[in-house]
Chain A
């Protein structure tokens, strides 16, 4: 979907939301058993206020889809959850971000530890320029998760199996991961992420570079993974959001406009902006 945003309309619509009250998030931001809690999250990139006062929970074993027009801050939001924004110069994050009640931005929070607990899958498949085996083994190896070669083998095979890739690659584990097809590469990245057994997996448009068949496989995979992991997935596809997620969060110009159960958002959104977006009036 192309991004054709009419800012004047948006701004007007936002100042006066459906109910006519204060601007804020419509719907219930809470999850019953939250693993991630964000309260009043703000991100500035230099002068740009990219994320504005966002509060949201992500529950255990829950898939939350983040949707919204391009540039509305979806990536910015999930990158706050594993502090990937730390690497961006001039990025400033304020507000409360918690993983299992621990402050993600507290000085005593170790970033390396955080990122083993909050894994990430990126938009463009980015396997390491190493063998398929090494791609998956890398995380467990640097963290010292396997005490022996056979333990490492178990982790690698298990992760590849859970990522639905093992059958396709089991006789070429020593070949470079970059030689796989796009969909296989993305599943390899997922296998790499789950090899360190994170609590949360962040996915930033994981299927946007893939064909429909590869996309369908990843969606099935997300479904399976949701039994064990909390997943936050950014997507531009309503169908995808509808298929894989339990809750949907709609972002607009850095604000979290509406959160709700997936079927509610797609069939009966409360906010006009959400309605405009999900009905395809802009996006």
Chain B
């Protein structure tokens, strides 16, 4: 028997190798397929949830962008308005326009005479109709004495009925009685009720009357607040990041500060609200409900986010850039401002926008500084009392009127739109200014 070790048959060996690999291959591919399936599944379920959420909000909210209006023939009779002869602007502004509206309804339904019935009839028109008419007449005083035809907002109860959000009886959520329903039917038959674009929703502040409530107050409040936040937290955050990343010595103090900044980013936002209440309002005596204070509070919240993002952006700048700058004799400051910062800027801006987007969606800390108040006037400076979009949504979601439900969803859509725009801006910035080195 030949005991000498034969060199392995190379062909056989490689055939074996092929066999073994082949046997394993199927398993490897199976594994990969399974992993992909899991991944796909999670993506699909995520997208489904998101789609469901968005669809629900959109379905609930889209109808708020249109408002039910009544076509009325209005007799701008100086007598009914309570005007004497030579009427000036001041008198015009304080005249009784609701009376004109009531008279016009009375002409449409002459058979309605009782006090109670008349009141029920008048309730079909929004209480704001008189104000709208007033604004119209003050802008065009020549209308006095003429008969005009105008579309004025219907009451929210009519609005809900006409949009099909509620049924006709009290069991179906309807709040109109039989007589009112009959009048509405008659108006519909006459073509005097229609859906029109809801301008008021975009131009008005908050209101007790759903048909008069709008998001402009909240939008402007949010804008002022974000402005304050941006102006404070971006320069501060970027400077802090530059100092910590580029100039600070490595020692225990700096480590301590770093740890605290990271912790600050994880503090629940309501804590910042409490801090803001104690410091800015109670100690410094700044006004309540002002976007300035809201912006200060949110700056505290956004600052760590911006610092962390900016430091990451600075760290991502390759050392070769620094070496190049130092090698030619830049001072550390010139190196940072001429070379490192321009490359880090897109990352910093992205971080800032994401921080801003978070601040835009924040409501809890703002409740603490009084931005939850019911404020009708649209703010014109950051010191005026105001509310912000998320708080406006919260307030409406809390209101009993059925018509506020669709406005809540519509306001959420608007807020999501703003957030989408901001995030797209972040993506755009990143791709636009991302340089290759």
Contact = CB atoms under 8 A, between A and B. Distances in A.
Interface residues of A, number: 26
A5 B437 CA distance: 34
Contacts of A112: 329-331
A118 to B, nearest CB: 9
B147 interface: no
Nearest to A125: B320
Nearest to A127: B324
Most buried by A among B321, B329, B334, B343: B329
B325 interface: yes
Main secondary structure of the interface of B (DSSP, over half): helix
B327 A129 contact: no
Interface string B404-437: 0000000000000000000000000000000111
B146 interface: no
A192 B320 contact: no
Interface in A109-136: 112-113, 115-116, 119-120, 122, 124, 126-129
A115 B355 CA distance: 40
A205 B303 CA distance: 43
A189 interface: yes
Contacts of B339: 128-129
A116 B437 contact: no
A122 B325 CA distance: 12
A162 B385 CA distance: 67
Contact of B326 (A113, A115, A143): A115
A139 B326 contact: no
Contacts of A16: none
Contacts of B327: 82, 84, 115, 119-120, 122, 193
A74 to B, nearest CB: 16
A129 B343 contact: yes
Contacts of B323: 84, 87, 120, 122, 126
B435 A113 contact: no
A117 to B, nearest CB: 9
A193 B339 CA distance: 16
A139 B437 contact: no
A115 B343 CA distance: 23
A89 interface: yes
B328 interface: yes
Contact of B329 (A87, A113, A176): A113
B116 interface: no
Contact of A129 (B322, B331, B435): B435
B435 A142 contact: no
B325 to A, nearest CB: 7
A146 to B, nearest CB: 15
Given A128-B325, A129-B342, A142 B330 contact: yes
A270 interface: no
Contact of A138 (B250, B320, B321, B328): B328
A215 interface: no
29 contacts: A84-B327, A87-B322, A87-B326, A112-B330, A112-B331, A113-B329, A115-B326, A115-B327, A116-B328, A120-B323, A120-B327, A122-B320, A122-B324, A124-B320, A126-B323, A128-B321, A128-B339, A129-B342, A138-B328, A138-B338, A139-B329, A142-B329, A142-B330, A176-B435, A178-B435, A178-B436, A192-B324, A196-B328, A196-B329
Interface of B: 250, 320-331, 334, 338-339, 342-343, 435-437
Interface of A: 82, 84, 87, 89, 112-113, 115-116, 119-120, 122, 124, 126-129, 138-139, 142-143, 176, 178, 189, 192-193, 196
Ranked 8 nearest A-B pairs via Cβ = A126-B320, A120-B327, A115-B329, A116-B329, A126-B324, A139-B328, A129-B435, A112-B329
